[in-house]
Amino acid sequence: MGEKVVADRFDLADRQRYRQKLRKCLQGLAQLLEEKRFDRPRNLMGLEIELNLADAVGQPLMMNAEVLEHIASRDFQTELGQFNLEVNIVPHALEGRVFDQLDEELRTGLAYADRQAREVSGRIVMIGILPTLSTGDLTLANLTAVDRYTLLNDQIMASRGEEVVLDIAGVEHLTRTSASIAPEAACTSVQLHLQVTPSRFADVWNAAQLACGPQIAMGANSPFLFGHELWRESRAPLFLQATDTRPPELSAQGVRPRTWFGERWIASAYELFEENLRYFPSLLPICDDEDPQRVLAAGGTPALPELVLHNGTIYRWNRPVYGVVDGVPHLRVENRVLPAGPTVTDVLANTAFYYGLVRALADEQRPAWTRMPFADAARNFDAACRYGIDAELWWPRGGRTPGLARVPAARLVEDQLLPLAAAGLDAWGVEAADRDRYLSVIEERCRWRVNGASWQAAAYRRATDAGLDREKALAAVTRKYCELVATGEPVHTWPHGP
């Protein structure tokens, strides 16, 4: 969805034309796969972080256009809400001191962006959901003034045919309605890309799906929405409901939501793209002039623009991505599970844990997903979003013992998954110092049972116990969070008081 999208309206024939072009794109993808035209293994990873803007007292600041003008860097872009930005880090090879390199780049880039934000009395905040957001902040008027956001909103709302209903029961119960998709802007995430060959894609995607539960348990950072304490990772239900094109009747019939964990393990990347065409109507039926078959017949590489655009409107937590660089096609797995923040160290610890764990799981001779029903991976994702680091997860028993065991997430990660992640980073060729520095952060979270979400919740309770009302307590938590982020110390070391 990062491409420029401009269209005023669609007529009755547009979706039929678009569907036909999608089928041609899918045929083109099948031909590229059959002819083995894809890029060779390069061990490339990429990183995107969505950010919030807040003012000096921790309230959302609707000034991303002004901040971007001051930043004046292509690395920073708009996001859905006027209080959102996104920073993109150029791809890196997963080897050597890659995480230390990313640490330096992120600290330098974010510090510069924060200085520019302060020129308009703002600050950059890396957090899954800004605790001080109110329903009045998330309205159509506060969407970024970019054609693709307006058009996407119009199409989702037209498909749904009624207001968005938010209904999230967690520690507290939140119900709200919205006349737009603006609540989606509350969700700011870290997106981890991994370029893989077609033959490797299914193993990596399956491994990434399996890793979702542990990822969220360790990295949850979104316990509050509209003044309510909900799930430890409230982004998940919020994003699902804010982008849902289904009225309740279609949901009851089992029609799949556009924000989707999936429903089965796969054997090829093609299956995911084919599912996208089979299950999801187009939201933005904008046709390009490219004829994929003609491009292939001439020896070229098609961009498959309709397939890429359609794929960008289906929000799988692990999304397949097709791209072309210098005339050579490639495939990526885009992991969209993690929230932003709290600190650069925390983000990179989550990143190292993910890449190491996925590599180790994908390399196993008897992969864990062959011993675990897909429904249990989905159940783990849900439990981790609800309970964070206190979740209990299902995992295959060790050795030759069949079946699954239900294990506290912190114990599972500390005893079984961190050693796997370390072995995976070794297999990538990451240096031991880098490996140990960042995985030790995950180990300490397990030991102290602290991540961003648990810190926010504990700080909020202390603030209310001290006599602050809900609104003032959340503002105090946000200000303290920003103060502690500035130290650069990972969240498990933070004091709890606001």
pLDDT tens per residue across all 498 residues of the chain = 444 444 456 788 899 999 999 999 999 999 999 999 999 988 999 999 999 999 999 999 999 999 999 999 999 999 999 999 999 999 999 999 999 999 999 999 999 999 999 999 999 999 999 999 999 999 999 999 988 899 999 999 999 999 999 999 999 999 999 999 999 999 999 999 999 999 999 999 999 999 999 999 999 999 999 999 999 999 999 999 999 999 999 999 999 999 999 999 999 999 999 999 999 999 999 999 999 999 999 999 999 999 999 999 999 999 999 999 999 999 999 999 999 999 999 999 999 999 999 999 999 999 999 999 999 999 999 999 999 999 999 999 987 778 999 999 999 999 999 999 999 999 999 999 999 999 999 999 999 999 999 999 999 999 999 999 999 999 999 999 999 999 999 999 999 756
pLDDT of residue 397: 92
Closest by CA position to 162, among listed 242, 247, 244, 240: 247
Closest by CA position to 88, among listed 125, 51, 48, 44: 48
Q: How many CA atoms lie within 13 A of 233 on its CB side?
A: 33
pLDDT of residue 9: 64
Contact 474, 460 (CB under 8 A): yes
pLDDT of residue 401: 77
| 259-260 vs 315-316, strand pairing mode | parallel
pLDDT of residue 467: 97
What DSSP string runs through 130-199?
-TT--TTTSSGGGB-S-HHHHHHHHHHHHHH-S-EEEEEESSSEEEEEESSSGGGGG--BEEEEEEE-HH
Contact 205, 333 (CB under 8 A): yes
Closest by CA position to 57, among listed 476, 489, 484: 476
| Token output for 153 | 């909103």
**Residue holding tokens 């949901």?**
251
**Residue holding tokens 């506060």?**
142
What DSSP string runs through 390-452?
G-EEEEEPSTT--SEEEEEHHHHIIIIIHHHHHHHHHHHTB-HHHHHHHHHHHHHHHHHT--H
Calpha distance 367→261 (Å, rounded): 19
| Token output for 318 | 């692990």
Q: How many CA atoms lie within 13 A of 427 on its CB side?
A: 16
pLDDT of residue 2: 42
Contact 451, 221 (CB under 8 A): yes
Calpha distance 479→54 (Å, rounded): 10
**Number of residues assigned to the chain:** 498
| 190-196 vs 224-225, strand pairing mode | unpaired
**Residues near 216 by Cβ (< 8 Å), separated by ≥ 6?**
233, 236, 337, 338, 381, 384, 385, 388
Calpha distance 359→420 (Å, rounded): 9
pLDDT of residue 3: 47
